[in-house]
Structure 1
Amino acid sequence: MKIVEDYAQRKVDEKLEETNKKFVINLRKKGFSLDEIVETAEVSLDFVKKTLSK
């Protein structure tokens, strides 16, 4: 059962990361600064920079 639980957790984490990426991109399009995005989305500055560099 542990394998199934690990798989399910990975899928949830992947979905959350994808949602956060879309949120970060949309905030940037609306003119938010990097610091404002970090504060609003509650993610790290590194995550924001990596997301926006793609």
Structure 2
Amino acid sequence: MTLEVFYFDTGIHLARIEQGKQNISVVTLAKICEYFEIDLSEFFSNIEKMK
């Protein structure tokens, strides 16, 4: 998958978020998780495991 395909599917500019040019809201994060079929609670659980 490319960033272009992801943007076409979701309207979300991942590159801008990755580069720190755009802040991410919880709503946007939820849309990203939904696209990748990840539960939002699972996303935060995995972050906690990385510490």
Is the shorter-chain TM-score for this pair beyond 0.5, marking a shared fold?
A: no
Q: TM-score range by the shorter chain?
A: 0.3 to 0.5
Higher-Rg member (1/2): 1
TM-score if structure 2 supplies the norm length?
0.32
Higher relative contact order (CA 8 A, sep 6+): 1
TM-score if structure 1 supplies the norm length?
0.31
